[in-house]
Amino acid sequence: TLHVPRVYSEFTTDAILTMEFIDGFRVDENDRLREAGISVSEVAAHGARIFMKQAFELGLFHGDPHPGNIRILADGSICLLDFGMAGLLENEKREQLVDLFVAIIKRDVRTAVEVIEGIGQPLNDIDKPLLRADVRDFVDTYYGVSLEQLHVGRMLSDFIGILANHGIRCPGDLMLLIRALVTLEGVGRSLDPQFN
């Protein structure tokens, strides 16, 4: 379900990357996709799986997945363009993110706080009781929300807000991942309002 444009090495230099021309639909051209017999809900689902595999299995992900960088080919496969911005998540960061998600699902505030402290870099001393209270509020806000009603973008923005309020610096690649997820959620929901 993924196509990556071929690189023409013989026409590529340090200043120019020459790749295969891709003829397809922009991912946000819903009417044209439907007219071509392409299921927009399947495109959304495939896109989500592709991105999650990139980020959480491979640890290397496309960092700028806006609609202009995503083409849908005639067979419904997804082609990603413009690999100028890519993120790298080391195993430790991937495991920390999974631990954070699990802690939220289990409503385990203590573990969530520990993971947050491990993910970010404190710029000064942390007021641990206040951080614990903010994380408890965060977990309570999102605990038990059905997947259909969960807005990942809002949740991740709230998470970044907690880090910022407590002077915890978020690593660059994690910020890039969050930005990409927010963008992709918007793309997915524009394709399929029931997208999760």
Among 193, 173, 3, which residue's Cα sits nearest to residue 97? 173
Given 23, 64, 125, 137, the catalytic residue: 64
Q: Give the DSSP per-residue string, 118-151.
A: HHSEESS---HHHHHHHHHHHHHHHTT--TTT--
Assign 38 to helix, strand or coil.
Answer: coil
99 is catalytic: no
State the catalytic residues.
64
